[in-house]
Chain A
Amino acid sequence: MIIAEKKPIEEIIREVEAYDRILVLGCNECVTVCEAGGKKEVEVLASVLRMNFMAQNREKTIDERTLERQCDHEYLEEIRDVIDQYDAVISLACGVGVQFAAEKYMTTPVLPGVNTVCLGANEDRGLWTERCQACGSCVLARTGGICPVSRCAKRVLNGPCGGSTNGKCEISKDTDCAWQLIIDRLKALGKMDDYEIVAPVKDWSTDRAGGPRTVTREDVKI
């Protein structure tokens, strides 16, 4: 899923200071699961904002709403009839949701309430870690199912680099060396011979480098 984390409250307050009628808009998908922008986080943020402005004797309307998804027209349409009641929307969705809402409601400022971090997994309670960088051309079949693009700090395709120590990355003792994980997995699979297959120069045109990416499916278009 998409992993996000809450923006510092001071930053959100600064962004919305100028507006009197604000809608805090959550999303029921990824950001709910990673506890950054679901219904609960909407309630907390709205309450904190109300108190903040109340304590300054400033009257503002701060409402709450959480949509099933903010990356789909269908659900974003649900706020069309109320959007004009607000001077600004704080979207707690990932960067996708914020933008999709902004594109739809051209005259209403839509501000981000979270920082979108990565595509990752919920590794443990309170711990979310990156697993994919959406490079657009998956190499996992050749790397024992462990991704060197997202999990190696140098995205080395023929690793490990010389900085790997005791299975950890040179950037931090808390970061696993992706290539150590790859080697461990290749060993477990009995495929260590594959280690010596050289990964050729990668085509990064399917990555960010190729410009905004799209998937077009004529077979499902109507």
Chain B
Amino acid sequence: MRLKIPTNFRIIRVPCTGKVDIIHILRAFEKGADGVYVVGCMEGDCHFNEGNFRARKRVEQAARVLEKIGVGKDRVRMYNLSSGEGPLFAQYSTEMVNRVKEMGPSPIRLARQQMAKKADAA
């Protein structure tokens, strides 16, 4: 299957989305990511029973706190699909990238760039 997917995101593989903690999501933003999406199995199909439910809770936690500090809740999102659904993965990826593009760069990334410039000038 040769599917077109955006190239401006990095895939981090985890054994199960249940492994993803809120701190992993926050660290990505702290390091300058403009958006994070977690792609898990269909709800009810988790090999570990509730891994993807845990992931959803953590994505929600991250969204809440990101909203409060002005980064925006929509920069993080949970998707579910089954392992055979490559086209759907491509579709979700495109959707997420477009959504983040619409929002523009994360304020954290802009701040980091400015800090770097300042450091260069000094």
Contact = CB atoms under 8 A, between A and B. Distances in A.
Interface string A44-55: 100110111011
- Measured as residues with beta carbon below 8 angstroms from the partner, the interface class of chain A is 10 to 19
A40 interface: yes
Interface stretch (B7-15, B36-44, B83-91, B110-118): B110-118
B71 A47 contact: no
Interface in A39-71: 40, 43-44, 47-48, 50-52, 54-57, 59
Contacts of B71: 51, 55
Interface centre among B23, B29, B71, B108 (most CB of A within 10 A): B23
Contacts of B69: 9, 13, 48, 51-52, 55
B111 to A, nearest CB: 4
B2 interface: no
11 contacts: A9-B68, A40-B21, A40-B23, A47-B23, A47-B26, A48-B69, A52-B70, A54-B112, A54-B115, A55-B69, A55-B108
Interface of B: 21-23, 26-27, 29-30, 65, 68-71, 107-108, 111-112, 114-115
Sorted nearest first, the 7 A-B pairs with minimum C-beta distance are: A55-B107, A52-B69, A47-B26, A54-B111, A43-B23, A9-B68, A51-B108
